[in-house]
């Protein structure tokens, strides 16, 4: 496989134009193909979440392209102290834990041919580059890739701090956090 690190162009969006939405949904369907039969992973269910997330404070999307082919994405929102993200945690959070705004990465994914090329890390880091929040958090299925995905996030500086099940159809996810810088 050719190394795509130099050819992946990163495009930022703070709104969700139709073309970017279409490209993101195409990549999502490809990335999540083995799970699309599960209710929480269906493209239509994801599209509803995406449309809601795009209207929330601090929305930002980074799409990676190899030429005109969308190959990966990451997006998130600013979450404050009263955000439902914090309220769904399995264990109580320490006093003051949610006082400062954080970036919640809602989704990150890269198509198989570009995995292992550094594309996911570049997209992730580019999403964080201009953020003003002090911390970033994400959720990961601890079983994804037999734990490989969570271990990858650990190499990026994330540490597990809690868990949540965002919806009845969702698996129990590990909540991870790290400083943005």
User: What's the confidence (pLDDT) of residue 4?
Assistant: 42
Tens of pLDDT along the chain (181 residues) come to 444 445 799 999 999 999 999 999 999 999 998 888 888 889 999 999 999 999 999 999 999 999 999 999 999 999 999 999 999 999 999 999 999 999 999 999 999 999 999 999 999 999 999 999 999 999 999 987 788 999 999 999 999 999 999 888 788 999 999 999 8
> What stretches of the chain show up as alpha helix (H) in DSSP?
18-31, 43-53, 84-87, 119-129, 148-155
In the block, residue with structure tokens 């809601």? 52
**The pLDDT of residue 112:** 93
Q: What pLDDT was estimated at residue 39? A: 84
pLDDT at 40: 84
Cβ atoms of residues 11 and 50 within 8 Å: no
Question: Within 13 A of 65's CA, how many CA atoms are on the CB side?
Answer: 12
pLDDT at position 56, please? 96
- Show contacts of 161-167: CB within 8 Å, 24+ apart: 162/89, 162/90, 162/91, 162/93, 163/89, 163/90, 163/91, 164/88, 164/89, 164/90, 164/139, 165/88, 165/90, 166/88, 166/139, 167/40
pLDDT at 5: 47
- The model's pTM: 0.92
Structural domains of the chain, with CATH? 8-133 (3.40.630.30)
């Amino acid at each position: 496989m050719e190394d795509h690190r130099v050819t992946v162009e990163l495009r930022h969006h703070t709104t969700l134009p139709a073309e970017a939405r279409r490209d993101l949904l195409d990549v999502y369907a490809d990335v999540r193909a083995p799970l699309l039969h599960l209710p929480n992973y269906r493209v239509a269910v994801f599209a509803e979440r995406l449309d809601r997330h795009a209207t929330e404070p601090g929305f930002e999307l980074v799409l990676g392209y190899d030429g005109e082919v969308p190959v990966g994405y990451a997006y998130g929102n600013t979450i404050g102290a009263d955000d439902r993200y914090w309220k769904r945690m399995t264990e109580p959070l320490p006093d003051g834990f949610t006082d400062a705004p954080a970036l919640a990465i809602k989704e990150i994914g890269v198509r198989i041919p570009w995995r292992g090329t550094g594309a996911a890390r570049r997209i992730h880091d580019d999403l964080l580059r201009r953020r003003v929040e002090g911390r970033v958090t994400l959720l990961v299925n601890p079983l994804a890739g037999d734990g490989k995905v969570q271990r990858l996030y650990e190499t990026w500086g994330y540490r597990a701090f809690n868990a949540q099940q965002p919806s009845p159809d969702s698996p129990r996810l590990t909540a991870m956090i790290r400083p943005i810088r």
